[in-house]
Amino acid sequence: MKHFLLAISCLMTFNIQALDQATNQKDLDQRMEWFNDAKFGMFIHWGAYSVLKGSWQGKEMEFYAEWIQAKADIPKEQYVKVAERFNPEQFDADAWAKAAYEAGMKYMVITTKHHEGFCLWDSQYTKYDIKDTAGIDRDLLGELSAACKKYGLKFGTYYSTIDWHHDSQKPVEGAKGHWNKWAKIEMVSPQKKKEYVQYMKNQLQELVDRYDTQIFWFDGDWNDFWTMEDGEDLYRFLRKIQPNAIINNRVAKRKEFKYDFGTPENQTPGEKLDYYWEACWTINHSWGYKAHDKKWKSSQVLIQKLLDINSKGGNLLLNVGPTPEGTFPDGCIDRLAQMGQWTKMHGEVLYGTEYAPVKRPSWGRVLKKGNSLFLHVFDWPQNQQLKVEGLAGSLQKAYVFKQANEALQFEIDDQNFTIKIPKEAYDENSSVVVLEFSPETLSFAKTANAEKQSTNDISLALTAATIQGKSIVYEKNTQTLRSFNSNKDSANWKQEIVIPGKYEVLLDTALNGKENSFEVKLNNKVLKGKAKNTGKWAKFEELSLGEVELDQIGNYSISLRKTSKNHQSLFKLKSIRLRPIQ
Specify the pLDDT at position 262. Answer: 95
User: Of 465, 485, 502, 490, nearest to 580 (Cα)?
Assistant: 502
Q: Which residue has the higher pLDDT, 388 or 8?
A: 388
CATH number of 31-349: 3.20.20.80
pLDDT tens per residue across span 73-131: 999 999 999 999 999 999 999 999 999 999 999 999 999 999 999 999 999 999 999 99
The tens digit of pLDDT for each residue in 529-578 reads: 999 999 999 999 999 999 999 988 788 999 999 999 999 999 999 999 99
pLDDT at 363: 95
Q: CB-side exposure of 114: number of CA atoms within 13 Å?
A: 22
Per-residue pLDDT for 16 more than 50?
no
Q: Which is it for the CA torsion 272, 276, 282, 287, positive or negative?
A: negative
Residue 334 confidence (pLDDT) above 80? yes
User: Per-residue pLDDT for 448 more than 50?
Assistant: no
pLDDT category at 581 given cuts 50, 70, 90 is: confident
271 band by pLDDT with thresholds 50, 70 and 90 = confident
What pLDDT band is residue 23 in, cutting at 50, 70 and 90?
low
What pLDDT was estimated at residue 10? Answer: 42
Q: Answer yes or no: is pLDDT of 9 > 70.
A: no
| Burial state string for 180-189 with b = 16 or more CB within 10 A and e = fewer than 16 | bbbbbbbbee
pLDDT of residue 210: 98
Half-sphere exposure of 579 (CA within 13 A, CB side): 19
Instruction: Output the pTM of the full model.
Output: 0.89
> Which pLDDT value is given to residue 498?
80
How confident is the model over 209-242, as pLDDT tens digits?
999 999 999 999 999 999 999 999 999 999 999 9
Residue by residue, DSSP assigns 132-196 as TTT---S-HHHHHHHHHHHTT-EEEEEEES--SSSTTEEPPTT--SHIIIIIT-EES-HHHHHHH
Residue 356's alpha-carbon distances to 360, 429, 480, in angstroms, are 9, 20, 22
Question: What residue segments make up the domains of the chain, in order of their start?
Answer: 31-349, 356-444, 458-580
CA dihedral 166, 172, 176, 182 (to 10 degrees): -20
Nearest partner of 459 among 292, 216, 268, judged by Cα:
268
Q: Beta strand 107-113 with 154-160: parallel, antiparallel or unpaired?
A: parallel
Amino acid symbol at 459: S
Mapped onto helix, strand or coil, the DSSP state of residue 561 is strand
Cα separations (Å) of 171 from 49, 128, 185, 251, 327?
Answer: 18, 18, 5, 22, 33
For 277, which DSSP code? B
| Per-residue pLDDT at 66 exceeds 80 | yes
pLDDT above 70: percentage of residues in the chain: 94
Residue 61 pLDDT more than 60? yes
CATH code: domain 458-580 is: 2.60.120.260
Helices (H), 228-268: 228-241
In order of 187, 263, 448, the CA distances from 540 in angstroms are 47, 28, 14
Is the pLDDT reported for residue 466 higher than 80? yes
Mean pLDDT of the chain: 93
Under 8 Å between Cβ of 215 and 107: yes
The pLDDT of residue 21 is 56
What pLDDT, in 10s, does the model give residues 37-58? 999 999 999 999 999 999 999 9
* Cβ 216 vs Cβ 238: under 8 Å: yes
For residue 96, what are the CA distances in angstroms to 5, 29, 44, 459, 570? 54, 30, 10, 33, 52
Residue 582 has pLDDT above 70, yes or no: no
CATH match of 356-444 with 2.60.40.1180: yes
Predicted local distance difference test score (pLDDT) of residue 500: 86
Radius of gyration of the chain measured on its C-alpha atoms: 25
What's the pLDDT score for residue 445? 85
The secondary structure of 27-87 as a DSSP string is: HHHHHHHHHHHH-EEEEE--SGGGGGTTEETTEEPPS-GGGHHHHTT--HHHHHHHHHT--
Residue type, position 199, single letter: Y
What tens digit of pLDDT does each residue of 117-174 get? 999 999 999 999 999 999 999 999 999 999 999 999 999 999 999 999 999 999 999 9
